[in-house]
Amino acid sequence: MLSAVSILLPVFGLIFAGFACRRFGVLGPAAASELNRFVVWLALPALLFDIVAHATWRELFQPAFIVTFGGACLLVFAGVVAVRLFLGRPLADASIDGLAAAYPNTGYVGFPLGMIAFGPSSLTPTTIASIIVVCVLFAFAIVLIETGLQSERRPHRLVMKVGRSLLRNPLLVAPLLGAIVSGAHVTVPASAQTFLKLLGGAASPCALVSLGLFLAERRSTETAPRESSWWLTLTKLVAQPVLTWWLAVRVFALPFPLAQTALLLAALPTGTGPFMLAEYYRREAHVTSRTILHSTIGSLVTLTLLLLYLQR
């Protein structure tokens, strides 16, 4: 029990530090947004580039892991979207709800937690999972949102818009550039390597503090039913890990260490991506923000139980 808690304490300690700094006024209302920009545009891309640039194609091309983790994400996303549409929610809002239920926080929580729990061996699968979440899952959500919001259904315009959005995403561009460097067998200069290590090393702590700052913001909650966020939270913290474990063990028979990593990543709380997407498209974001808060708090319990199970 103590070992599982000791793994989680540094991660949630940094989240709480950000939360406390915002609530006590040490950092202002713009701190979460600005620190998040630093992570998204500098620190995390540097970390992703560094990992991929030093990985081999054999390490990155893991089809069973990709289908296991990505398949579970997409199935949960599609299931929630279908249920929300059946209950009368507009397609754009249903898509954001589906993303909130299927979007594990691999970039902010996955890297530090994986490193503490499993060591450097977790970096490559966490990178693969981050690419799936940030690119594939996000792309599906954007396509559905754009379809729901546009009065004219022109597929080629949708494809172009999604393509431009993904090409501007540093979390996609950085690992792609790293893959090119790795495939071309280019040696990264020592000075550039030091730069990447220093910048990438800031990704995890800054991301966790940024998440705490985000969670500390007080938001109005009158316009959306509270029960929505609770069942989305349960889907994220229970249904998605169970589905991932079943695919990993029963369907694809992943090696046990890789199956453990897939399970841990699937059990992570909801990341801030769905909220940012809701804000960008000016959609109702109360359900999403509560799901992020509830899943982050709830994951302290579920991740502790999961780590206890994996340490047996």
Residue 84 lies in a domain: yes
Q: How far apart are CA 288 and CA 272, in angstroms?
A: 9
| DSSP 8-state class, residue 224 | S
pTM equals 0.78
Average pLDDT, the chain: 84
Judged by average pLDDT, the poorest of 36-40, 93-97, 255-259 is 36-40
Q: Could you list the residue range(s) of the whole structural domain that residue 161 is in?
A: 2-216+230-310
Q: Note the pLDDT of residue 79.
A: 96
Q: Which of the listed ranges 36-50, 167-181, 247-261, 291-305 does the model predict with the highest average pLDDT?
A: 247-261
Number of domains in the chain: 1
Check the CA dihedral 156-157-159-164 and report its sign: positive
Residue 223 lies in a domain: no
Whether the per-residue pLDDT at 160 is higher than 80: the answer is: no
Q: Note the pLDDT of residue 277.
A: 78
Distances, alpha carbon 169 to alpha carbons 63, 212, 279, 283, in Å = 24, 23, 17, 21
- Runs of H (alpha helix) within the chain: 2-23, 31-38, 44-53, 57-60, 63-86, 91-102, 111-118, 123-131, 138-149, 155-167, 170-183, 190-201, 203-216, 226-234, 240-246, 256-266, 273-280, 286-310
Residue 222 lies in a domain: no
Angle at which helices 91-102 and 286-310 cross, to 10° = 20
Residue 96 lies in a domain: yes
CATH of the domain at 98: 1.20.1530
Count of beta carbons in the 10 Å neighbourhood of residue 42:
17
- The pLDDT of 204-226, averaged and rounded, is 73
Count of beta carbons in the 10 Å neighbourhood of residue 29:
11
Q: Note the pLDDT of residue 51.
A: 80
Instruction: Considering only the C-alpha atoms of the chain, give the largest distance between any 2 of them, rounded to a whole number of Å.
Output: 57
CB-based contact 310:264 (threshold 8 Å): yes
Residue 291 lies in a domain: yes
